[in-house]
Amino acid sequence: GFDPDRVSELDFKSLVHPEDWPGLRQAFKDAVTSPGKQMPAVRARINNAGGQCREMEGTFTSMLRVPGVTGVVLSLRDLTQLKAAQSELHRLAFFDPLTGLANRQLFRDRLNGVVHRSRRSGEPAALMYLDLDGFKRINDTLGHDAGDELLKQVAEWLRGCVREEDSVARLGGDEFVVLLSRVSGTEAAGKVAETILRRLCQRVRLNDHDVGVTVSIGVTMIPHDSEDVGTLMKYADLAMYRAKEMGRNNYQFFTPAMNIKAARRMLQQEELMTALQEDRFVLHYQPKVDLVSQKVIGVEAFLRWHHPEKGLVPAQQFINLADETGLIIRLGEQAFRQACIQVQALERAGFESLKMAVNFSVRQITDTGFLDLIRRVVTETGVAADRIELELPAELLNEDPRMLRELLVALNDLGVCLILDDFGKGSCSLVALQQLPLDVIKIDHGFIRDIPYNVSATDVASAVIALAHKLHLTVVAEGVETMQQLAFLKSAGCAQSQGNLFSYPLDEDALIGFLIRQYEKPLIS
């Protein structure tokens, strides 16, 4: 960029980076003393006419005895773009492009280095595996752009929670890892985990929505738990899943028992997949009674696994695993289809007015294909939509209000009955109760169980029934097992009830027999 006619006026030293000037000068001296010899390449940072630093590489050639030259020639080529390209390739190979954190490959290299150092010195280190709670739901409801913004924010928060010598990496999706290169012990590692929980447990604004963020953390100690990089990653992951099982938004240290549990979990997951393929799941049905007419007005479907060795396995023993692994989507469709077919079987048997209630988890309901699933199965089975009741878990009210309202309105337009299950369990928005197109609420069986011996339980049940009446909602009490409970519910104005007092969940044949008998004699005497 310089004027060739004014090269002789340039102060070469001022153009060369101070650190590179000695080497450049020495290379010149070597060339002067070695006429005609090919000199090694030399690199230097040299400013151009605009004052910008360029990465240069070249060689000196002594041509002092060459007529017309009589000097030392320096030939340079500009490596700036090549160096930038190499730097970008390095960044892409070892850093996450979204957050700028180290990626899986670079992190494993760093973890390997810390393991070797810890093994030699005996000084402990700690590995943490972090997973954002409910991130998939944010992606599905607010879009991937909002999810990306959240991940970048989380990366910044994590950087601020650790020391400069520690490492933070993103493994993919919403999975992060933190490597504490030196810690005094488990107590110090726990304090860092608590710092991360406090920092990340807050609300962020994404696409005009306030979103709550929490994280589950698994911690494994180096070298106490293992000196193998792959094993340490596995142990931290197992501890993180334990944190999720303990209610999320907490941290757990790895214990050997987790390894045994993980092996059992993998075996059960394989068994679940096989059972799905072999259609080993059946439905049992618990009658629901109208407390005024004392007649059965519907049934609730309960899923059972027909295990070849254990017999009938209740849903409580496998439904959480199915939900966590995603198998719940296929399993839920299978169960819903079976329930719709059973409605038609009951009609052919002469029970034309009974309704069928089917339970769904938050993961199923927030799946993008849930509405299409309900429409498709209702259409394919030919069941009347008003004979179907969808039981929705109370924690669903913590989801994005706009998304939830759109979904429930669409389901309501389809003609199905919407039941809010386990009301009173956990936090529940009364505003949502008023704004959403719900038809029925079910009082959580935990309150029913303590009636009439627990005054608090009876007060809550009475308040829920009164509130439901104000909102023009039908109230169902589940888990009724004693005549005292039943007497209280009738006096409080509860409309419907179900529980072992009336009947345990029955298979298809037993249900038909029960329905025939209840027409001959009242259920409540």
Q: What's 39's DSSP letter?
A: P
The stretch 389-397 carries a mean pLDDT of 90
Q: Position of tokens 């004027």? A: 3
- Centroid of chain to Cα 506: 36
Question: Residues 161-184: pLDDT tens digits?
Answer: 999 999 999 998 899 999 999 999
The residue type at 410: A
What pTM, to 2 d.p., does this model score?
0.63
Contact yes or no for 280/327 (Cβ under 8 A)? no
Contact yes or no for 335/281 (Cβ under 8 A)? yes
Selection from 400, 336, 334 nearest residue 362 by Cα: 400
Question: Residues 36-74: pLDDT tens digits?
Answer: 777 888 888 989 888 888 989 989 888 888 888 888 888
Report pLDDT for 81: 82
Question: Residues 317-332: pLDDT tens digits?
Answer: 899 889 888 899 999 9
Residue 62 has φ and ψ, to the nearest 5°, of -80, 120
Contact yes or no for 197/250 (Cβ under 8 A)? yes
Instruction: Report DSSP letters for 172-217, one per residue.
Output: ETTEEEEEES--SSHHHHHHHHHHHHHHHSEEEEETTEEEEE-EEE
End-to-end CA distance of the chain: 103
Selection from 157, 57, 162, 45 nearest residue 99 by Cα: 157
In whole angstroms, what is the distance from residue 499 CA to residue 378 CA?
28
Does residue 424 have a pLDDT over 80?
no
Question: Residues 222-261: pLDDT tens digits?
Answer: 999 999 999 999 999 999 989 988 888 899 999 988 888 7
